[in-house]
Structure 1
């Protein structure tokens, strides 16, 4: 098995994805090996399979998966959802602060709202004091 693993390394070996903390196997083929003894001992649904590049036997469904990548993608998706919720919450707060016309009750447009605000003073850089 070690010789076959070594000869086929370019087909199954992934590369480290530092940002996510996992190995990426996007263009690789997962190659598993087992023995009849392992199958007899653990059964076909048990931890009888060794995926090339890993140091322990696993169930077949676990051996073909990439749990670190799955966890990274789940964290990234959760962060995106939280960012979307935060933007929606900020937009709702912005709308809640938007003034309405005293006569008709319609909310001001962004341009009208900006026109009702006092002008902003531009921040000018302060010149350094001379010594």
Structure 2
């Protein structure tokens, strides 16, 4: 094991991983007696540099790096969710602002002072020749009905 240390020993990392194993060879040893006794799924595989035998998938993996990668993915996911929530809040605020601006621009009935609803506002808008289709463009629907009924 000591003669091959330069082939399998990782280098210490500064970002939370214990070692980097890039360009290193994982060397796994197993004794036939232990393999017969515990089977291929048992904790019989010794990865050079580890203290205890492990099941094969644990021996050839890098659990510290996997855990660090999982934590990094969780942090990135949380940041992404927060960003999406912030975008939703901004969109809702923008929609509310646009609705308030539209409400502020809507005309007011000269008869009763009520704001026009969208349908009434559309009908009261001037047409191509800058003349409204409606005979009473400054009155809401209720006041217009009263004015038309009073004229008849």
Calculate the TM-score normalised by the size of structure 2: 0.61
3-state secondary structure, aligned to 1:94: helix
Q: Which residues of structure 1 form unaligned runs of 5+?
A: 106-131
* Partners of 1:27 and 1:57 in 2: CA distance: 23
Partner of 1:87: 83
RMSD: 1.8
Partner of 2:149: none
1:33 aligns with 2:29: yes
Bigger mean CA offset, 49-58 vs 38-47: 38-47
Partner of 1:115: none
Partner of 1:111: none
Partner of 2:12: 16
3-state secondary structure, aligned to 2:78: helix
* Partners of 1:44 and 1:89 in 2: CA distance: 48
Calculate the TM-score normalised by the size of structure 1: 0.70
Pick 1 or 2: higher relative contact order, CA cutoff 8 A, min separation 6: 1
Aligned residue pair count: 101
Deviation string for 1:87-110 (max 9, x for gaps)? 1111111121121141489xxxxx
1:78 deviates by: 0.7
1:49 aligns with 2:54: no
1:66 deviates by: 0.8
Structure showing greater radius of gyration is 2
* Partners of 1:38 and 1:18 in 2: CA distance: 37
1:61 deviates by: 1.1
Q: Which residues of structure 2 form unaligned runs of 5+?
A: 107-117, 119-152
Deviation string for 1:68-99 (max 9, x for gaps)? 11111011001001101111111111121121
Moved over 3 A (4+): none
More helix by share: 2
